[in-house]
């Protein structure tokens, strides 16, 4: 039998590893960011010949097919995209751990800038789509923005994990052992799906300039985060005492509020 241990702070209350600690703002930002990711992925899929901006499972399948067919330009194209996305998650995690309560403000500002910067980049070649890299990097960064009650980064740019967690969560609900983060999975799927539909419609109307919509949404969210952080520096709406994203349960707690 596995021993269940509840970590407690000095006051005896369970430690809150979520970020933001307040579930209301966490749900708001999570759904908005999932919609942003779905929109950007849909636009990128249409603009870059079925290259995914955030769905790396799909890109991995395309990578395997390209290798099997000896299509080396496509291999390079997809592999470089996956590498940029991975670097974004790596960089975002380091930044999130370093800036504490400013995590939302900093990462959202960076995402807005990168999503807009993609429009200013040269197109590059088919094998090296330079135009897409800033967008992919922004969506990689996004995955370090929020974390659930267990201190795990919320998956905001892909839907498979949300669907799996929702299915297993339903089973656990019947057994009376459901995790609190179970309830956010369905809204995440809905946000990502809605964003994908919106992205397709925007691309049909505006072409590559449609990327300005997710860039603008990220900028609006950044302004909200900055305003809350400045106006309510100790508020759990934008902060919380938490370890670095995806840190070990034994990791030293970083007080992101104070």
> Which residues, 6 or more positions from 12, have their beta carbon under 8 angstroms from its beta carbon?
none
Contact between 199 and 42 under an 8 Å Cβ cutoff? The reply is yes
CA pair distance 98, 157, nearest whole angstrom: 23
**Which pLDDT value is given to residue 81?**
96
pLDDT value of residue 242? 56
Position 147 confidence tier, pLDDT thresholds 50, 70, 90: confident
**How many whole angstroms separate alpha carbon 170 and alpha carbon 155?**
19
Give the confidence band of 151 by pLDDT, cuts at 50, 70, 90.
confident
Residue 33: pLDDT band by 50, 70, 90 thresholds? very high
Average pLDDT over the chain, rounded to an integer: 84
DSSP string, 75-109: HHHHHHHHHHHHHHHHHHHHHHHHHGGGHHHHHHH
Over 90: is that where the pLDDT of 162 sits?
Answer: no
Q: In the chain, pLDDT over 70 holds for what percent of residues? A: 86
Mean pLDDT over 211-220 rounds to 96
Using one digit for the tens of pLDDT, what is the confidence trace for 83-112? 999 999 999 989 988 888 898 999 999 999
Range from 148-157, 182-191, 236-245 carrying the lowest mean pLDDT: 236-245
Q: Which tokens go with 6?
A: 């509840």
- For residue 133, the model assigns a pLDDT of 95
Q: Answer whether 78's CB lies under 8 Å from 66's CB.
A: yes
pLDDT at 247: 61
Q: Angle 185-206/23-47 helices, nearest 10 degrees?
A: 40
**pLDDT at position 123 over 80:** yes
- pLDDT of 136 > 60? The answer is yes
Distance CA 133, CA 139 (A): 10
- Residue 146 pLDDT: 87
* Coil, helix or strand at residue 65: helix
Global confidence as pTM:
0.84
Q: Which two tokens mark 235?
A: 């508020």
């Amino acid at each position: 039998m596995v021993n269940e241990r509840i970590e407690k702070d000095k006051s005896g209350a369970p430690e809150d590893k979520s970020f933001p600690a307040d579930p209301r703002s966490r749900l708001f930002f999570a759904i908005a960011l999932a919609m942003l990711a779905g929109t950007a992925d849909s636009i990128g899929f249409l603009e870059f010949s079925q290259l995914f901006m955030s769905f790396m499972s799909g890109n991995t399948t395309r990578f395997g097919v390209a290798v099997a067919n000896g299509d080396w330009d496509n291999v390079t194209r997809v592999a470089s995209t996956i590498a940029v996305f991975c670097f974004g998650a790596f960089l975002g995690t380091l930044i999130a751990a370093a800036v504490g309560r400013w995590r939302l403000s900093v990462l959202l500002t960076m995402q807005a800038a990168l999503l807009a910067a993609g429009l200013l980049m040269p197109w590059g070649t088919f094998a090296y789509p330079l135009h897409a890299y800033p967008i992919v990097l922004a969506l990689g960064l996004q995955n370090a923005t929020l974390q659930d009650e267990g201190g795990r980064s919320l998956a905001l740019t892909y839907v498979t994990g949300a669907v799996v967690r929702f299915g297993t969560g339903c089973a656990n609900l019947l057994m009376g052992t459901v995790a609190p983060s179970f309830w956010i999975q369905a809204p995440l799927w809905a946000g990502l799906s809605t964003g994908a539909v919106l992205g397709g419609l925007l691309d049909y109307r505006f072409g590559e300039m449609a990327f300005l919509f997710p860039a603008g949404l990220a900028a609006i969210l950044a302004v909200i985060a900055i305003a809350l952080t400045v106006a309510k520096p100790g508020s759990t709406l934008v902060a919380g005492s938490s370890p670095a994203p995806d840190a070990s349960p034994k990791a030293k707690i970083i007080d992101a509020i104070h």
